[in-house]
């Protein structure tokens, strides 16, 4: 088993690790195959060489961000860990990243380079597959693009679909009709839509068959 040790010489280790070692816990969740130990001003990791190389690069990015902004929240940590090693976690140009205006005029836009790529690819392709870890904005950005297309009359209907992963029992055994059985799986889509479409408009569009 290979081992690396990273010394935090340029930042305050306690502040970098965060309350209840939140930074280390996120690292552990993203790198489950590594054994990660935080002690003093050092981070030690044990595991396969290839994974250790990626791990070291992500930690360096986290340290650089913390050193620059003197803060490191959970969202930023997630974005950096899910990046491809470039600075795609940093905000993109506002004009290029804008998608649409949501509730109360709220600006909804791509927040990372990869989300911006999704926006750009959707303009050139009828179908785009977005894969990656949870929490990187795949669903939210996709819903925003769908609502934008509906508002601009590029499409007549949005079809909401999501895999219903059963956990120990068939959907048929769950209470309620089919809509009530599936609603828990569709909640992330509904939450995104509520940010973008006023409640009255949502009901109106639903009655007119604009959502399926």
192 exposure class (CB count in 10 Å sphere: 0-12, 13-18, 19+): buried
What is the pLDDT, as a whole number, of residue 90?
56
Q: How far apart are CA 84 and CA 79, in angstroms?
A: 10
Percent of residues in the chain assigned helix, strand, coil, to nearest 5: 50, 10, 35
CA distances (Å), origin 149, targets 132, 154, 161: 24, 5, 17
The pLDDT of residue 210 is 75
Q: What is the pLDDT of residues 56-94, one digit of tens each?
A: 999 999 988 887 777 788 888 888 888 766 555 555 445
Instruction: Report pLDDT for 171.
Output: 55
Which pLDDT value is given to residue 182?
65
CATH code for residues 2-81: 3.30.1370.10
Break the chain into its structural domains and give their ranges.
Answer: 2-81, 94-207
Q: Is the alpha carbon torsion for 12, 7, 43, 71 positive or negative? A: positive
Structure tokens at 151: 């508002």
| Full-model pTM | 0.53
- Model pLDDT for residues 34-63, shown as the tens digit of each residue: 999 999 999 999 999 999 999 999 999 998
pLDDT at 208: 74
Closest CA to 33 of 73, 57, 2, 76: 2
How far out from the chain centre does Cα 91 lie?
14
Question: Which residue, among 79, 69, 90, 8, has the nearest Cα to 43 in the 3D structure?
Answer: 8
pLDDT in tens, the chain (212 residues): 799 999 987 778 888 998 889 999 999 999 999 999 999 999 999 999 999 999 999 999 998 888 777 778 888 888 888 876 655 555 544 566 888 888 866 788 888 888 889 999 998 998 999 888 878 889 899 999 998 888 888 888 888 887 765 545 565 555 666 566 666 777 788 888 888 887 767 777 777 777 76
The pLDDT assigned to 74 comes to 85
Work out the percent of the chain whose per-residue pLDDT is above 90.
29
Do 128 and 115 contact (CB within 8 A), yes or no? no
């Amino acid at each position: 088993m290979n081992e690396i040790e990273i010394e935090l010489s340029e930042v305050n280790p306690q502040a970098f690790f965060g309350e209840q070692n939140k930074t280390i816990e996120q690292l552990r969740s993203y790198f489950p195959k590594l054994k990660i130990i935080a002690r003093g001003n050092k981070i030690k990791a044990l595991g396969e060489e290839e994974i250790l190389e990626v791990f070291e690069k992500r930690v360096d990015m986290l340290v650089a961000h913390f050193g620059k902004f003197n803060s490191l929240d959970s969202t930023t940590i997630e974005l950096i860990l899910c990046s491809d090693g470039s600075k795609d976690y940093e905000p993109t140009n506002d004009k290029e990243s804008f998608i649409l205006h949501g509730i109360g005029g709220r600006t909804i836009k791509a927040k990372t380079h990869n989300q911006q790529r999704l926006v750009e690819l959707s303009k050139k392709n009828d179908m785009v597959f977005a894969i990656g870890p949870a929490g990187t904005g795949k669903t939210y950005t996709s819903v925003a693009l769908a609502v934008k297309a509906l508002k601009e009359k590029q499409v007549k209907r949005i079809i909401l679909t999501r895999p219903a992963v059963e956990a120990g029992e068939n959907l048929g055994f769950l209470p309620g009709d089919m809509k009530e059985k599936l609603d828990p799986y569709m909640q992330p889509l509904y939450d995104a839509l509520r940010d973008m479409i006023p409640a009255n408009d949502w009901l109106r569009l639903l009655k007119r068959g604009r959502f399926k």
